[in-house]
Structure 1
Amino acid sequence: MAEERSARLDNLWDDARAAAMSEPDRLVYRSNLLGSDKRVTNYGGGNTSSKVTQKDPLTGEDVEVLWVKGSGGDSASIKLDGFATLYMDRLEALKRLYRGVDHEDEMVGYLPHCTFNLNPRAASIDTPLHAFVPRSYVDHMHPDAIIAIAAAKDSKALTKEIFGDAIGWLPWKRPGFELGLWLEKFCRENPDAKGVVLESHGLFTWGDTPKACYTTTIDTINQAIDWFEKQTGGRAAFGGAAASALPAAERRAIAARLMPRIRGLISQNGIHKVGHFDDSAAVLEFVNAQQLEPLAALGTSCPDHFLRTKIRPLVIGFDPAKPDVDNVIAGLPAALEDYRAGYQAYYNRCRHPDSPGVRDPNAVVYLMPGVGMFTFAADKATARISAEFYVNAINVMRGASAVSTYVGLAEQEAFDIEYWQLEEAKLQRMPKPKSLAGRVAFVTGGAGGIGKATAVRLLREGACVVLADIDAPALENASAELGKAFGTDFVRTTQFDVTDETAVAAAYAHAAVEYGGVDILVSNAGISSSAPIEDTELSMWNRNMDILAKGYFLVSREAFRVFKQQQIGGNIVFIASKNALAASPNAAAYCTAKAAEIHLARCLALEGAEDQIRVNTVNPDAVLRGSKIWTGEWREQRAAAYAMEPDQLEEHYRKRSMLKRSVFPEDIAEAVYFLASDLSAKSTGNIINVDAGNAQSFTR
């Protein structure tokens, strides 16, 4: 195994901490310890169980209850409510109803009848595997080191060589009722065994106490790690290097160019994908290797891997010694079409009369020599996790091919899991995507009141948001706040000056590498100034024009470039001002620059329509709460213009409005969401005034 993955696992069990816990709490503790290390199991992969004696809520009698990780969830973060609870005697009774392997899927429908204490957590397909192992505590993990053995051509012999009789071996069998019976039979015939390797799948271990079970799992994985180190020490992985990695900055620059193009080619019919870039050492070792193409073509072995990554990746033809990126971009449409055709052929070869219809035929994983790996999925978290799964697959291929011949799961077996009716039912139960799922928004002035409120509104609808601002501390605070509320996968930041042409391009490149591209620009960065015309200095005039006109031009021009690379449309919303339509005293520079924004938006709406790029404007007025521009001289200057005290200004604006209502950042955000979403899909070149009513700023 690679050096970065070869360190032995630590036994993290804390006797004192565990002693104070209940039996179910110790199951949570054990699960969290195991799931916290990706060398033990991948995200959402594996499961744990404990058989616990509890009082039946109906009879008051003691009964044996199986606590087992429920459907979905992740071992690293699972809590008590993530476990299904089932009567063991009822699970045993299911054996009398079992009609054989051709009917095992129907057994899943009986699991709810075994539920203990009305627990709403659905039991997973792996429940019988835990129930029928005649031990009180069972772990099922997907360690890279073990799957490398399980995916080797001679995995049975390797298992025997490494573990002797302590760990057994079972041939490939899809998870379900039948495999549960196989495990029970193995345990009864091998009472001294501590676990079993499942071919092309993973590891089952057990014990008579939670600590013993956990320790066996850790020790078994460490034994495999130690064995691989002895067998592979000093040996070049994957047949050695065929190419060298480009410098990190060049890798990111290429990713920034390619990811929007790939994203556009695989985002169709209003369903957009989000990207993730990985150029870690493990990925670079694989994409630069002699055996890249033959190993990639074999596909992954563990079901968890290919359910996240598809059965195989797409390898992008590229010679880093002669880095012709333009040629790669020109060849992408054909390469992706070839992949789709191959996937359709795989579906046609393997389908059954009752198979679900073919799903998205595009690749999830894209491997590029010298550069790294791109993954695309419906959201950022899934794209990132897919990359993590493929790194697990790389580690498996490294180990298996170093000591034997790596074997991917047979095509028909892979298909039968990917298009399993039970898997399809799980997909059908998933909630409907939010209205901006898969969309990426770029919000300038994102750390201010309107910008942050807009980000919150877009995040609530499932968008990923790149917060852009010149104020680094405010940006950091906004990122932490929104990341905590919506998840760090959904929020990125970029600190730059909108008047700096080079910095603007770099910010969009950052967004492309982080998310694969941009769909929505909210141009909101702003300043304010107030002075009578005779006191308006040229520097004040130029600063307003730089930020409010040139800045809007630069970020819009770059957005157009990205939108046209993607070729899936785009959306720009300018945050202008009531002052763009209604002149105000002592604010000539500000009002003129804001008027320029509106006319720029109209010009861009004309230019973008043919490419389905919509450009609209929101005109706020007097949004004081949370606004950075109202915290300095601007408030005092506007108050002076109206001959009043600064603390009287908000009430003045409220009373001045036709509706006699204050305008808040959230009100502006709501208008932005409307214009950025498909709710306004047939609107471009429009202006929405959010000013509580001002006759002077009526657009007609």
Structure 2
Amino acid sequence: MSATSAVKFKHVSYLWDDAKAAALQGDEVALLIYRSNLLGADLRLTNYGGGNTSCKAIAKDPLTGKETEVMWIKGSGGDLGTMKKSGLAALYVDRLRSLKNVYRGIEHEDEMVELFNHCIFDLASKAPSIDTPLHGFLPFKHIDHLHPDAAIAIAAAKDGKKITQELFNGTIGWVEWQRPGFDLGLKLAKCLEENPGIRGIMLGSHGLFTWGDTAYESYINTLEVIERCAEYIEEKVSKQKAVFGGAKVTSLPKEQRTSQAAALAPVLRGFCSSYQKMVGHFTDDERVLNFINSKDLEKLGPMGTSCPDHFLRTKISPLVLNLAPGEDLSDVSKIKEKLTPQFEAYRAMYAEYYNTCKHPNSPAMRDPNPVVILYPGAGMFTFSKDKQTARVAAEFYINAINVMRGAEAISEYTSLPRQEAFNIEYWLLEEAKLQRMPKPKALSGRIALVTGSAGGIGKAIAKKFADEGACVIINDNDATRLEGAKEDFSKQYGKDVFAAVVLDVTKAGDIKGATDAAALAFGGLDIVVNCAGLSISKPIEEHTEKDWDILYDVLVKGQFFVTQAGVEVMRKQAIGGDVINIVSKNALMSGPNNAGYGSAKAAQLHLSRLNAAELGKDHIRVNVVNPDAVISDSKIWEGAWAEGRAKAYGIKVEELPGYYAKRTLLNEIILPEDIANACFAVTGGLLNKSTGNVINVDGGVATAFVR
């Protein structure tokens, strides 16, 4: 098929490029990776991290030198859309198939996973996934196992087997739901044996297997089968009077949905963080709104998802909030009073599910809080250990909505039985995978707003926090400078680590916009670093009222009102927080030509003490970092300030760094990273019982010692 044939596909994306594929001919593994990346690029075909692909090819055995058949398959935990060769596992096909000789039955199938290691061909292989035998026991050279919404809608329908048989005239086999593993691989082989010539197999409630003799044949076969499923569903949907039984609730206007979400997210985050700090995600995608506003939400919502990949990321069922779409959220205590019994009921439901379904060797019950929270009329919140996981959970639940929509249109939706769902969620192999995950970084699950973070000290702090696992809101009053920082952060960290907003700390609207951005992007706020600043150095007779006002507006009022807005969010969460104020040694040390700046810095320092005294009851800690002479990448040191300080000390501007270093006890030049390290020291966990402190990072200026 040429690229021009792509027009035959309306519900999937045909992305195959003949020229690119031709350059890979003869390298089956490269073609596998190419095909996998194309399939993973279309979320209608499979979800992030879901599904797996494989190829079988002849390779030379490194021990015998003889040619042998090897299977390359996506390794455990990988993602098709971004997969590289390093993400593949490679196994001897004959050894893998010989494991049938030692298989002791379905009660012992988990032990087979460890035996995959005896089949490894490439010692640099990724760990083989649980689906390895499903590919290995089928004879085809190229195989795709995907989780397309359209196919799962049929697989999860009450009459799914019958529909599959009729829709494909017997050319697609059917295997009833069974947890993935060695035994399911044997059942796929048996299905093929009993139905020779079929082009694929539908797995009940799970997904789709398709194949071909070449990478291209497998790709086209996969697209054609999914396209046919999607056509059938859309035809049925078009004949419905109303999707999901029609609307029960009317969506709020877009702006009001966003406003409600920003106000509510920190409250929800507080509830969801009762076991560990969670990061949130919000979406008001049209597909979500159609579902959560519908009459069928009450029936379908509690049922949960069908595909195990969906379920593992979205939990047994969502929490549907009993709040009116336009509910007044200004009285936080009233909203918490209304939500508390709803969260308690969800946790009790989850505990009952665990206690009813657990086995003698089941892992201990995990966090009973919901992952997916539905707010009819407004949108969907998801909460997890980090932003990417929360965002992916939302994507998976949208997949589940698509599945429910399709299944209800063609028949009747069925979810996984609770015991089966539990067996997946608390599967010992899944638990082992969780235990192998890297230990969380010190600031994982934390959300930080660092003012003035497009450059200089602020940017260094934001990067240090991101390096240590935090999500950060970067900002600046200079939109051009902020664009440069966005590009930098995007390249270094990706979209799930930061959000960016224009913020002038003298403007109330900008401040609210920044805290709303934190709530919408990540669910709330844990750390506020007041770093935005400017400096004016003039003799007393040259100081103007305008100079005085801008110094106090930015340094003192800005610090106060940003802190005030941040504290409002932290109090909604009720899980504590940190405020760090970047002040200066000038708050403590008197110097020439510095009346306005120095006195404003002194006000910042004492304001920090006052805030620490007031906010201790909320477990919000307020501390100060006092830098001195941080010249690198700093707007403060551009132009007049540097000239003013050089003039005050009777030296040249270029001599300032050396001059400042020589006057310190340690004879050190202070860099933005030094201030960032001090901020991390305060927030990283070792000083959780410290508040009202001043940390000097100035190389040692004795006249600026606090005591």
Cross-structure match for 1:243: 249
Is residue 396 of structure 2 the alignment partner of residue 393 of structure 1? Answer: no
Does structure 2 conserve the Cα–Cα contact (< 8 Å) formed by 1:572 and 1:676? no
Cross-structure match for 1:432: 439
Is residue 497 of structure 2 the alignment partner of residue 490 of structure 1? Answer: yes
Equivalent of residue 274 in structure 1, options 267, 272, 279: 279
Gaps of 5+ in 2: 1-8
Cross-structure match for 2:18: 15
Is residue 78 of structure 2 the alignment partner of residue 73 of structure 1? Answer: yes
Alignment of 1:175-214 (within 5 A): 175-214=180-219
| SS of alignment partner, residue 375 of structure 1 | strand
Partners of 1:120 and 1:432 lie apart in 2 by 23
Report the Cα offset of residue 234 of structure 1.
Answer: 4.9
Q: Which amino acid aligns with 2:323?
A: F
Partners of 1:655 and 1:89 lie apart in 2 by 72
Deviations 1:95-136 (A, max 9, x none): 000011111111111001100031341000000000001111
| SS of alignment partner, residue 268 of structure 1 | coil
Alignment of 1:496-645 (within 5 A): 496-645=503-652
Report the Cα offset of residue 323 of structure 1.
Answer: 6.0
Deviations 1:59-98 (A, max 9, x none): 1110000100000110000000100000011001100000
Deviations 1:236-295 (A, max 9, x none): 2100111111011111111111110111122135x2100000101001111110101210
Percent sequence identity over aligned pairs: 53
Structure 1 residues 399 and 665, CA gap change in structure 2 (3 angstroms): same
Does structure 1 conserve the Cα–Cα contact (< 8 Å) formed by 2:264 and 2:329? no
Is residue 390 of structure 2 the alignment partner of residue 383 of structure 1? Answer: yes
Cross-structure match for 1:92: 97
Q: Which amino acid aligns with 2:441?
A: K
Partners of 1:547 and 1:16 lie apart in 2 by 58
| SS of alignment partner, residue 678 of structure 1 | coil
Cross-structure match for 2:451: 444
| SS of alignment partner, residue 474 of structure 2 | strand
Cross-structure match for 1:136: 141
| SS of alignment partner, residue 617 of structure 1 | strand
Is residue 706 of structure 2 the alignment partner of residue 699 of structure 1? Answer: yes
Q: Which amino acid aligns with 1:157?
A: K
Cross-structure match for 1:58: 63
Cross-structure match for 1:3: none
Deviations 1:501-556 (A, max 9, x none): 23212221121111110000010000000111111001101110000000000001
Cross-structure match for 2:3: none
| SS of alignment partner, residue 518 of structure 2 | helix
Partners of 1:274 and 1:520 lie apart in 2 by 13
Q: Which amino acid aligns with 2:613?
A: L
Is residue 304 of structure 2 the alignment partner of residue 305 of structure 1? Answer: no
With normalisation by structure 1, the TM-score equals: 0.98
Report the Cα offset of residue 15 of structure 1.
Answer: 2.6
Cross-structure match for 2:410: 403
Report the Cα offset of residue 189 of structure 1.
Answer: 2.0
Partners of 2:300 and 2:375 lie apart in 1 by 14
Deviations 1:543-599 (A, max 9, x none): 100000000000011111111111100100000001111012101100010110000
Q: Which amino acid aligns with 1:287?
A: I
Does structure 2 conserve the Cα–Cα contact (< 8 Å) formed by 1:523 and 1:575? yes
| SS of alignment partner, residue 496 of structure 2 | helix
Partners of 2:196 and 2:17 lie apart in 1 by 28
- CA RMSD in angstroms comes to 1.2
Partners of 1:321 and 1:558 lie apart in 2 by 23
Cross-structure match for 2:131: 126
Q: Which amino acid aligns with 2:664?
A: S
Report the Cα offset of residue 322 of structure 1.
Answer: 6.3
Alignment of 1:306-455 (within 5 A): 306-320=311-325, 328-455=335-462
| SS of alignment partner, residue 535 of structure 1 | coil
Partners of 2:471 and 2:235 lie apart in 1 by 45
Structure 1 residues 620 and 322, CA gap change in structure 2 (3 angstroms): closer
Does structure 2 conserve the Cα–Cα contact (< 8 Å) formed by 1:134 and 1:187? no
Partners of 1:473 and 1:334 lie apart in 2 by 47
| SS of alignment partner, residue 459 of structure 1 | helix
Q: Which amino acid aligns with 2:634?
A: S
Larger CA deviation: 12-21 vs 82-91: 12-21
Report the Cα offset of residue 628 of structure 1.
Answer: 1.2
Q: Which amino acid aligns with 2:485?
A: A
Q: Which amino acid aligns with 1:613?
A: I
Is residue 174 of structure 2 the alignment partner of residue 169 of structure 1? Answer: yes
Does structure 2 conserve the Cα–Cα contact (< 8 Å) formed by 1:243 and 1:321? no
Partners of 1:389 and 1:509 lie apart in 2 by 25
Partners of 1:604 and 1:421 lie apart in 2 by 48
| SS of alignment partner, residue 405 of structure 1 | coil
Cross-structure match for 2:475: 468
Deviations 1:345-391 (A, max 9, x none): 00011001111110010000000110000000000000000000000
| SS of alignment partner, residue 197 of structure 1 | strand
| SS of alignment partner, residue 216 of structure 1 | helix
Partners of 2:562 and 2:236 lie apart in 1 by 55
Partners of 2:605 and 2:49 lie apart in 1 by 48
Deviations 1:126-163 (A, max 9, x none): 00000001111110000000000011011001111211
Report the Cα offset of residue 321 of structure 1.
Answer: 6.5
Partners of 2:595 and 2:143 lie apart in 1 by 74
| SS of alignment partner, residue 76 of structure 1 | helix
Q: Which amino acid aligns with 1:374?
A: F
| SS of alignment partner, residue 178 of structure 1 | helix
Partners of 1:502 and 1:452 lie apart in 2 by 22
Gaps of 5+ in 1: 1-5
Does structure 2 conserve the Cα–Cα contact (< 8 Å) formed by 1:47 and 1:69? yes
Does structure 2 conserve the Cα–Cα contact (< 8 Å) formed by 1:529 and 1:589? yes
Does structure 2 conserve the Cα–Cα contact (< 8 Å) formed by 1:258 and 1:329? no
Does structure 1 conserve the Cα–Cα contact (< 8 Å) formed by 2:664 and 2:699? yes
Cross-structure match for 1:655: 662
Deviations 1:466-497 (A, max 9, x none): 01211111111112212211221101111121
Does structure 2 conserve the Cα–Cα contact (< 8 Å) formed by 1:57 and 1:117? no
Partners of 1:310 and 1:454 lie apart in 2 by 35
Q: Which amino acid aligns with 2:23?
A: A
Report the Cα offset of residue 615 of structure 1.
Answer: 0.4
Cross-structure match for 1:255: 261
| SS of alignment partner, residue 334 of structure 1 | helix
| SS of alignment partner, residue 695 of structure 2 | strand
With normalisation by structure 2, the TM-score equals: 0.97
Partners of 1:307 and 1:85 lie apart in 2 by 26
Q: Which amino acid aligns with 1:401?
A: E
Equivalent of residue 158 in structure 2, options 143, 153, 166: 153
Does structure 1 conserve the Cα–Cα contact (< 8 Å) formed by 2:325 and 2:375? no
Report the Cα offset of residue 632 of structure 1.
Answer: 2.1
| SS of alignment partner, residue 436 of structure 1 | coil
Report the Cα offset of residue 329 of structure 1.
Answer: 4.0
Partners of 1:325 and 1:116 lie apart in 2 by 62
Deviations 1:287-318 (A, max 9, x none): 11010121011110000001000011000012
Report the Cα offset of residue 653 of structure 1.
Answer: 0.7
Cross-structure match for 2:116: 111
Partners of 2:576 and 2:507 lie apart in 1 by 26
Q: Which amino acid aligns with 1:65?
A: V
